[in-house]
Amino acid sequence: MNVLIVYAHPQPHSLNGALKAFAVQHLEQAGHHVEVSDLYAMKWKAQLDVDDSLDAPVGDVFNPSADSKHAFEQGRQSADITAEQAKLRWADAVIFQFPLWWFSMPAIMKGWIDRVYACGFAYGVGEHSDTHWGDRYGEGSLTGKRAMLLVTAGGWESHYSPRGINGPIDDILFPIQHGMLFYPGFEVLPPLVIYRTSRVDEARFATHCETLAQRLDTLWQTPPLPFRQQNGGDYTIPALTLRPDIAPGESGLAIHQQRKE
C-alpha cells in the first residue's frame, strides 16, 4: 500500500523526528511504499494567497475560493500545491504527524491544509440539492483513503481526559479529524497521541515505538471513527442539523458519531 506522511516539526533530531524515522522504516520493511512531506524541510509556504494561482484573479480582486477553484480546474495551481494533491491521490493512507501547539497543528501544517485543499478538490465538490449537500463529510475526493493523526503533547494524559482542563482530546481534535479529514472523504482512524513529551527516555521511546508499530501494522484493519455521513439520512437538509429522533435532546461533538446499539 501507499502511505503518505505529512510531517511538521522544525528539528529533525527530536522525538517527532525519531518517531517519523521509525514509522518510515517500519512501513517500508512491511513492503509498503512511503512518501514523506516534511513541511519544514520543504520550506512549505504556509499562507494562502494570490500567488497560489498562476493566473490573475478571475474577478476584480483576489477571492480565495473562486481563484482556488479556477486554478484547480484549469491546471493553473502553484506547482507545490499540485504536487501535494498528486501525493494524496497516490496514497492509500495518510498520517498527519505534528506536535500539538496551542491545541492545534503548527501553522506550517495548517497552511498545507489551507492551500492543498483547493476548491473543487477538497470542498465545493458535488451537487447541492434537497437530499445532497455536496460531496462532503464521508463523501468527496478522498473517499476510500484512510487518515490518522500522530500527535505529541507536552501535557499529561489526564489533562486531556474526559474531564481534563484542556478538554477531551477527541473534542480538541474534532476540528481536524471531522472538519479537515472526514470532510473531504477520509476514513479517520483513532489518533495516536503521545503525552508528556519532555519525559520520554529510552525506555518510554521504545514503548511508544511498539504502540506505533502496532498501529501501523493494523492501518487497514482498525475500525475508523464512526462519524455520521452527511447525506446518509441522519441530517436534515439544508439545515444540516442532526435529525430530532437521533440522540434526542443531546448536543455537542459526540453526537456526530454513531453509537453502538
Q: Which of 41, 50, 54, 83 binds a copy of itself (CB under 8 A)?
A: 50
Peptide bond into 57 cis (omega under 30): no
Site size for a copy of itself, by CB under 8 A? 66
Residue 175 binding a copy of itself, by CB under 8 A: yes
Residue labelled with grid coordinates 479537515:
180
Exactly one of 110, 145, 208, 215 binds a copy of itself (CB under 8 A); which one?
110
Q: Which stretch binds a copy of itself (CB under 8 A): 23-31, 73-81, 84-92, 248-256?
A: 248-256
Smallest distance, Å, CB 211 to a copy of itself? 22
- 165: contact with a copy of itself by CB under 8 A: yes
Nearer to a copy of itself, 187 or 235 (CB): 235
Is 240 among the residues that bind a copy of itself (CB under 8 A)? yes
Q: Give yes or no for residue 108 binding a copy of itself (CB under 8 A).
A: yes
Please state, in angstroms and rounded to a whole number, the distance separating the CA atoms of residues 60 and 48.
18
Burial of 20 (0-12, 13-18, 19+ CB in 10 A): buried
Answer for which of 2, 78, 82, 104 binds a copy of itself (CB under 8 A) is 104
Please report whether residue 102 would count as binding a copy of itself according to CB under 8 A.
yes
Site string for a copy of itself, 5-34 (x = CB under 8 A): -----xx-xx--------------------
DSSP character at residue 149: E
Contacts of residue 3, Cβ cutoff 8 Å, sequence gap at least 6: 27, 32, 33, 34, 35, 91, 92, 93, 94, 95, 219
CB 168 within 8 A of CB 161: yes
Query: 128-147 mask for a copy of itself (x: CB under 8 A)?
Result: ---------x----------
Q: Is 59 helix (H, G, I), strand (E, B) or coil?
A: coil
Residue 172 touches a copy of itself, criterion: CB under 8 A? yes
| CB-neighbour burial class of residue 128 (10 A; exposed 0-12, middle 13-18, buried 19+) | exposed
Of residues 32 and 126, the one with the C-beta less far from a copy of itself:
126
Residue 209's CB is within 10 A of a number of other CB atoms, namely 15
When asked if residue 255 is in the footprint of a copy of itself (CB under 8 A), the reply is: yes
| Contacts of residue 153, Cβ cutoff 8 Å, sequence gap at least 6 | 99, 100, 160, 193, 194, 195, 196, 197
- Region of residue 95 (phi > 0: left; psi between -120 and 50: alpha; otherwise: beta): beta
Interaction between residue 64 and a copy of itself (CB under 8 A): yes
Q: Where along the sequence are the contacts to a copy of itself (CB under 8 A)?
A: 10-11, 13-14, 40, 44, 46-50, 60-65, 99, 101-108, 110-111, 113-114, 117, 137, 154, 156, 158-159, 161-168, 171-172, 174-175, 178-180, 183, 230, 235, 238-242, 250-256
